[in-house]
Structure 1
Amino acid sequence: MKKKYDDQSSINESIKYPKVRLIDVLGKQLGIYSSDTALQIALSEGLDLVVISDKSNPPVCKIIDYGKYKFLQEKKAKEAKKKQHNASLKEVKMRYKIENHDYKVRVNQALRFLESGDKVKITVIFRGREVQHLNLAIELLNKIAADLKDNSLIQQLPTKDGKNIIMILAPNKK
């Protein structure tokens, strides 16, 4: 009984090693066999011979149902991808003449982003001739950094970027 699979690099007849270490369905080591003998044992049980590890000498092969094995590998990969969190860059914008309540709202917003594991880019926007008040914007950014010091690390100090001043905060890993 020959089965067709799209990835046949390490199953059944495509195994080109002279000797393999054989493991049965229950995970018990059967010993070292020639590839042909191991394949005959697998086929006699109606299952496939699959290379599990080609790094060892001799390579480790297991007698399993390849379709089920492939399904479980894909399921593991999907679970690992779910648990992975890609930190993105969120932005909080404000003017240098911000009111106290609005300031607290922006700080809480940045705190929420940091707690969810994202980096935060804090931008102070200038219009027209307001650019001459750079020192006030830098003081504001330093105040934000001080307010968020328990939850963040400064990744980029305040820098001028055109008519804006930006600072980037990264989440603090405790």
Structure 2
Amino acid sequence: MSSFIFPKFLEVIGINKQKKDEAIVNEAIRAKEMLVITDTGEKLGVISRAKALNEAYDRGMDLVLVSPDANPPVAKMMDYSRFRFEQQKKLKEMKKNQKVTVVQEIQLSPTIEKHDFETKANKAKTILAKGNKVKITLRFYGRMIVHQELGKEVIDRFIESLQEVANIEAQPKMDGRIMFAVVAPKSEKDKEKEKKNIQ
């Protein structure tokens, strides 16, 4: 049984009803002539639409218009069903491997106690180990706003406690009554580079 897609079947699955992101396949091709390339990469030259379709069907292939705007248009023979399956498979893999970076917040205070500081530093390390970023925030209440240097000192110390596992992505800065900074996990490349520098 031939593997090419029959014209009637094209209508059933909606390929003839051309969408912007779909390929132009077989009977949906309207160009009178085109440069045809076989599935093995051999160029058959510029031939008529009818001859191109016959050549493809004789080989059990579909004819896919790969460069409709070229002069002449370029068509390639392929098993289009398999091609689409492989493309969808690759797309799924890409989405699966695509890492979604989450930014989690750690709140500090200008008068934070040592134990609380260490607990929050450990929590930040856990977040970073999962590949997520940490937004360090410190709110100034009441008259503490006039002592921003104290808050800056706390944030700097907090960032320093994470220096083995994090890089600074956004330096400490003010936003209203809140001072914040952002750190991101170090890449394996960064860690290897640091090891070499130590050696």
Normalized against structure 2, the TM-score is what? Answer: 0.71
Work out whether 1:123 is the aligned partner of 2:157. no
User: Pairwise mapping of residues 77-88 of structure 1 onto structure 2 (< 5 A)?
Assistant: 77-88=91-102
Candidates 49, 74, 77, aligned match of 2:63: 49
RMSD between aligned alpha carbons?
A: 2.7
Query: Is 1:29 aligned to residue 41 of structure 2?
Result: yes
Confirm whether residue 133 of structure 1 aligns to residue 141 of structure 2: no
| Other-structure match for 2:83 | 69
The question of whether the paired residues in 2 share the 8 Å contact of 1:22 and 1:38 is answered with: no
Question: For residue 164 of structure 2, what is the aligned residue in structure 1?
Answer: 150
How far apart are 1:72 and its partner, in Å? 2.0
Q: Does 1:92 align with 2:114?
A: no
Unaligned runs of 5+ in 1: none
Stretch of structure 1 that moved more, 103-112 or 51-60:
51-60
SS of corresponding position for 2:85? helix
Question: Which string of whole-angstrom CA distances, capped at 9 and with x for unpartnered residues, describes residues 79-119 of structure 1?
Answer: 10111113232211122222222212211222223233322
* Structure 1 counterpart SS, 2:163: coil
Aligned length: 170
Letter in 1 for 2:41: Q
Question: Aligned equivalents of 1:62 and 1:101: distance in 2?
Answer: 69
Give aligned-pair identity as a percent: 30
**Is the alpha carbon distance of 1:144 and 1:69 closer, same or farther for their aligned partners in structure 2, counting shifts above 3 Å?**
same
Is the 1:52–1:62 contact (alpha carbons within 8 Å) kept by the matching residues of 2? no
Secondary structure class of the residue paired with 1:146: helix
How far did 1:12 drift? 0.7
For structure 2, which runs of at least 5 residues remain unmatched after alignment?
1-5, 191-199
What SS is found at the alignment partner of 2:90? Answer: helix
Which deviates further from its counterpart, 73-82 or 53-62?
53-62
Return the match for 2:124 from 96, 101, 110.
Answer: 110
Greater than 4 Å deviation, 4+ residue runs: 52-58
In 2 relative to 1, CA 36–101 (structure 1 residues): closer, same or farther, beyond 3 Å? farther
TM-score of the pair, normalised by structure 1: 0.79
Bigger Cα displacement from structure 2, 30-39 vs 116-125: 30-39
